Amino acid sequence: MAEPMGFYSRYGLNVEVIKTAGWAVARDKSLSGEYDASHMLTPMPLAMTMGAGSTAQPFIMPAVENINGQAIVLANQHLDKRDPQQWKGMTFGVPFEYSMHNFLLRYYVAEHGLDPDRDIQIRVVPPPDMVANLRAGNLDGFLSPDPFNQRAVWEGLGFIHLLTKEIWQGHPCCAFAAPARFATEMPNTYGALLRAIIDATHYASDPAHRTEIAEAIAPTNYLNQPVPVIEQVLTGTFADGLGNVRQEPDRIDFDPFPWQSMGVWILTQMKRWGYIEGDVDYRGIAEQVYLASDARTVMRELGYDAPAEGYRTHEIMGKVFDPADPEGYLSSFAIGRGA
């Protein structure tokens, strides 16, 4: 929303926003230098820095763009399968392997006793294609970014099983990320871009602005979705496909601070499911990529409150994650791949 709402121009930037077909393409164009910076899923800069799924290149993530804002949707034919233990043999879509969507879905089904690699199928599907695949019967459900969850309800094809904030309240979703060289080679541009994104994120955090934002990001060159669908997500007043109109003001929310402890959690899940192996410098990598100090400086400069530290505990499905003991946390799970 920073472009259509005028935040880039406010900070003297002339930004070309390029709609990209899928996260793998966004990753590759960022690695090649075709993109100076990118809207990314929060695990992506960690994976790219470590060379997981791609060549290794140092990336930075100085700001989160939204928190919460995802859901598990099931096709209407599965109205009688609200217990995840009934999901054996079902196929689910996620937008990318290195995504909170993938890791939250894996966490959720594993906590219900299912092995996400053996008991269900997880397929990478671009979010704009999720609803069509649900209609065609290629997917039984998906864990997708909004507004595509709400679009499935709008089309009468599926229902919202749960919001991901019910798994982890305040979890990160998408973020501003760039090659590390962008900050060092173009510091003024980097600083202006970070200010614009943090300012826009705080603007979006005010519920009074949500309807205006829905109209700004609905057109074809952005989300290409009906305004009422986006409004339901942003305002938190939405039909769930189960006959209810729910009121969840924090269904999606906006907090730009890149907690390094969230980066540590993501790294534990990457190791848990075999995306990375061996010894992991959890804290070192999280601090290299998630630039809490840059975010803190800009947030305070713009007059916003900012946490003094980059670490805190997080609660996921009632289980507390202590970033000081990532290996102990990993060893507490009965289901996983990593060693």
**pLDDT in the model for residue 212:** 95
Domains detected in the chain: 7-66+173-205+254-330 (3.40.190.10), 68-170+225-251 (3.40.190.10)
Closest CA to 96 of 204, 174, 199, 4: 174
Using a CB cutoff of 8 Å and minimum separation of 24, what contacts does 181-187 make?
181/58, 182/36, 182/37, 182/60, 183/60, 183/62, 183/294, 186/36
**pLDDT in the model for residue 338:** 61
pTM greater than 0.95 (yes/no): yes
**pLDDT in the model for residue 222:** 81
pLDDT in tens, the chain (339 residues): 678 788 999 999 998 888 888 899 999 999 999 999 999 999 999 999 999 999 999 999 999 999 999 999 999 999 999 999 999 999 999 999 999 999 999 999 999 999 999 999 999 999 999 999 999 999 999 999 999 999 999 999 999 999 999 999 999 999 999 999 999 999 999 999 999 999 999 999 999 999 999 999 998 888 889 999 999 999 999 999 999 999 999 999 999 999 999 999 999 999 999 999 999 999 999 999 999 999 999 999 999 999 999 999 999 999 999 999 999 999 999 999 864
How far CA 23 is from CA of 77, 102, 118, 122, 316, in Å, comes to 29, 13, 25, 16, 25
Mapped onto helix, strand or coil, the DSSP state of residue 95 is coil
Kindly state the DSSP code that residue 316 receives in the 8-state scheme: E
* Residue 42 CB partners (closer than 8 Å, separation 6+): 61, 64, 100, 172, 173, 174, 175, 262, 263, 266
**pLDDT in the model for residue 216:** 93
**C-alpha–C-alpha distance, residues 146 and 165, integer Å:** 13
